[in-house]
Amino acid sequence: MEKNHLKNFNLKKEKAKLRSLADKLCYEIYLKPNCEICNKKAQQLHHFYPKSCYNHLRYCSENLISLCLGCHFRLTHQDKRLEDKIREKRGEKWYKKLSKMAQNRPKGSYLTTEWYEKQIKKLHKISSLKNFASD
C-alpha cells in the first residue's frame, strides 16, 4: 500500500514538473509584447476558454490572449465587455473555430505525463520554427 502511495506521489510530482516546463515554453512562444486590449506592456497569457474546464486548449495559440495585468484582472473578474472586445478584434471566424475546438474535449483522463511530454515536444518544435523565422 505504501509503495503505491509513493508511486502516485512521484507521478503527481512528475506531472507538475512537466506542466511547469510546458507553461514556461508557452509563455516564451506566445506572449506578445503588447496587451491585445489596451496596448500596454503584456505580462499575462489569458486563456479565453479557462484551463480549469478546457485544459486541452491550455497550449493552443488560438486560446491564448496577451494582456497587461490590469486588463487580465478586469477580464478574470467578469468584465464581459473586454471579452467582447477580444472577439471583435480577433473576428468571428476565430471565435467560431475556437468554440468548435472547445467542444471537442478528449474523452476520459488525458492529462497524463505522456500528454504533457507530447505538448512539450510540440512547443519545442514551434519555438525552434519561430527562432528560425526570426534569424
Distances (CA, A) of 25 to 30, 113, 117: 9, 16, 12
Confidence bin at 5 (pLDDT 50/70/90): low
Give the DSSP per-residue string, 120-134. HHHHHHHHHHHHHHH
Strands 44-47, 64-67: pairing is antiparallel
63 domain-assigned? yes
User: Would 5 be classed as within a structural domain?
Assistant: no
Answer whether residue 113 is part of any domain. Answer: no
| Confidence band of 22 (pLDDT split at 50, 70, 90) | very high
Q: What is the pLDDT of residue 132?
A: 59
Question: Is the pLDDT reported for residue 98 higher than 60?
Answer: yes
In a domain, 7, yes or no: no
C-alpha closest to that of 35 among 63, 74, 70: 70
pLDDT of residue 45: 96
Number of domains in the chain: 1
Query: Is residue 56 situated within a structural domain?
Result: yes
Residue 74 contacts by C-beta under 8 Å, 6 or more apart in sequence?
A: 82
In the predicted structure, residue 135 carries a pLDDT above the cut 60: no
Which residues, 6+ apart, have CB-to-CB distance to 37 below 8 Å?
67, 68, 71, 75, 82, 85, 86
Q: Is residue 114 included in any domain, yes or no? A: no
Residue 89 lies in a domain: yes
Confirm whether 120 is domain-assigned: no
> Looking at per-residue confidence, does 117 or 110 come out higher?
117
pLDDT of residue 34: 97
| Cα distance between residue 101 and residue 120, in whole Å | 20
Mean pLDDT, the chain, integer: 90
Domain that includes residue 91, residue range: 30-103
Angle between helices 80-90 and 69-76 (to 10 degrees): 110
* pLDDT per residue as tens digits for the range 34-93: 999 999 999 999 999 999 899 999 999 999 999 999 999 999 887 889 999 999 999 999
